[in-house]
Structure 1
Amino acid sequence: MKKHLIAGSFVALILAAMVACQSNPKETKNLPAAKKDSVVTPSVKPTETGYADVNGLKMYYEVYGEGKPIVLLHGSFMNIPLNWSHIIPVLAQKRKVIVTELQGHGRTKDIPREFSYEAMADDVSGLLKHLKTDSADVLGYSMGGGVAFQVAVRHPEQVRRLVILSGAYAHDGWWPDVEASFATMNADMFKGSVIQQQYDSMGNDPARFPEYIKKVLSIDLKPYNWSKEVKNIKSPIFMAIGDADGIRYEHALELFRAKGGGKMGDLHGLPKSRLAIIPGTTHIGMMVHADLWIPMVSDFLDSDLNAPPPTF
């Protein structure tokens, strides 16, 4: 009963956060005046949209802006407008932003293939080849974080730097009660929600909505552990979780230590990878609090990671 209540609360938070991100994004809240110009959200239009034929999928994508490419990978049940509508205009001011909808999500119709992080990572690799993009920064949120980890593991030559927001590289990276709650979620919890409305509006069969929810959830009902492979990723990694996230602190710390953290930078130099624990932020709230992590991510992507630590 307790697991069912936790799952219901989690779903309610997902839906509330989606509404908040669409109607009242908070990118500029609490930023110093000098930095607000860098995170305003003007209206932007894609420079390219289309479908890429990859691995049996017709994979929907959009491209915005110019500059160094960054790929954004959404979370479970999300699509481009739900996950990234308030993020794209910020990043597209200085970068080429590639956004896509993963298997079964949004306008990328499902195929007779089980959901797996590995398969979706191969799809992202195929999309980059379709767009003739040799290498890109890859940012993934939640489920998209797992996909991003696998892109770097399976296709390292295509990843310049990796950004993981509230993502896990092993099934026990979640707090135990959160991990257990996945098995108790069902389509009834999403009935009448913005997720169901978006699913119906994008040309999907409404009668298959329960099947869609079940299939998306299936990805986290099977144990997985990529600790060894992820710790051997050569690309620098920025991992961020909320201080009230569903991801365990120890999970993030373990990876950061493996990537050179856990030492005093003034004595040993800064590691190329970074870790952030965002204050006052839940798993779902990571998208609402984009004002807190966007400047950190931008600094990570733009910085010279071989530079010595600052001195006085």
Structure 2
Amino acid sequence: MKYLVTFFSLAVLFMAACQQQPSHPRNTAVPTKDSSATSDIKPAESGYADVNGLKMYYEVYGSGKPLVLLHGSFMNIPMNWAKAIPVLAKDRKVIVAEMQGHGRTRDIDRKMSYESMADDVSALLKHLKVDSADVLGYSMGGGIAFQFAVRHPEQLRRLVILSGTYAHNGWWPDVEASFAGMNAEMFKGSPIEKQYDSLGNDPARFPEYIKKVLSIDVQAYDWTKEVKNIKAPIFMAIGDADGVRYEHALELFRAKGGGKMGDIHGLPQSRLAILPGTTHIGMMVNTDLWIPMVKNFLDGDLNAPPPMF
């Protein structure tokens, strides 16, 4: 388990290096020109939205069809999306936000749950006057994205899930068991703790923050029925060395029309990818593998017949 935290921290360091930008001074409350996801591209808009009792920090890049990116546990915008935003924003309006208690979005006296954070995303889109959007969620963000699709289908066009689950047993058993044993001491001195402190949070509340974020996966959840009834096309991608069980992803793909020979029955509107040489954390490092697939899924004609040679 200590290895998992160490590996996670090393991945954060790698992604932070990709940003090539200075760290934030303590107690920074208002975004500065250095607070964007990457120094190579600046947000067209950034700020705080009043949603469901939160002051939710968000950034908007590029123009075109809206695409919402939802980060993983303990992450923030630059840590999770520094490599992806410059590519995706070339032909998309990319909306990124920091969830409850993460990054520059301060925590409030509210239970942390996938459902409430999905409602926050819905409220943010209304704040930005975006009627509907494609939504992409990674890890914890994948759970939020699933709940967004279930709770706010009218705001969703297409759904992308990277290394996310729709039931607690979607994780490999040892991964699921590890959540209950993780604690703030394991993150001591890690980039996770340092970024938490650097954004003006109270260091004394760091253990509470870790416990609260982990709480959403410690308790059992199962949205299988609701998720299988999502009407929007779904693209689910996991790594071949991910924490998500292959069978979990396959079960959803079959429910969405997969598991048949496309040359005979036609292609399903939903898609599945298992990326080679990719771990759970590596999903955010190997963006060159999944971004072309995501762009093809979002921009392509899903009703087109299979290619003929």
> What's the TM-score, normalizing by structure 1?
0.92
The residue number in structure 2 matching 1:295 is 292
Q: Distance in 2 between matches of 1:48 and 1:24?
A: 22
Alignment match, 2:152: 155
Question: Counterpart in 1 of 2:24?
Answer: none
1:19-55 C-alpha deviation (Å, 9 max, x unpaired): 1223259xxxxxxxxxxxxxxx981000000111111
The counterpart of 1:23, out of the listed 5, 17, 29, is: 17
**Aligned partner (choices 219, 222, 234) of residue 219 of structure 2:** 222
Q: Is the 8 A contact 2:100 2:106 kept in 1?
A: yes
How many residues get paired?
291
Q: How does 1:1-312 map to 2 (within 5 A)?
A: 7-24=1-18, 43-312=40-309
Matched position secondary structure for 1:216:
helix
Q: Indicate the residue corresponding to 1:36 in structure 2.
A: none
- Give secondary structure in 1 for the equivalent of 2:116: helix
Structure 1 stretches of 4+ with a deviation exceeding 4 A read none
Native 8 Å contact 1:22 1:86 kept in 2: no
1:120 partner amino acid: M
Q: CA deviation at 1:12?
A: 1.1
Partner of 1:120, secondary structure, is helix
**Cα distance change, pair 188–42 in 1 and its aligned pair in 2 (3 A):** closer
Task: Return 5+ residue gaps in structure 2 as ranges.
Answer: 20-37
- What amino acid does structure 1 have at the position aligned with 2:80? N
Distance in 2 (CA, whole Å) between partners of 1:22 and 1:263 is: 42
What do you get for the CA RMSD once the two structures are aligned?
1.1
Whole-angstrom CA distance in 2 between matches of 1:235 and 1:14: 32
CA contact (8 A) 1:70 1:96 kept: yes
- SS across alignment from 2:93: strand
Give distance in 2, aligned partners of 1:235 and 1:309.
20
**For 2:304, what is the secondary structure of its paired residue?**
coil
State which drifts further: 129-138 or 189-198: 189-198
Give the whole-Å Cα distance in 2 for the aligned partners of 1:21 and 1:237. 27
CA gap of 1:50–1:24, structure 2 versus 1, over 3 A, is: closer
- Answer yes or no: is the 8 Å Cα contact 1:42–1:89 preserved in 2: no
Q: Which amino acid aligns with 1:190?
A: F
TM-score, structure 2 normalization: 0.93
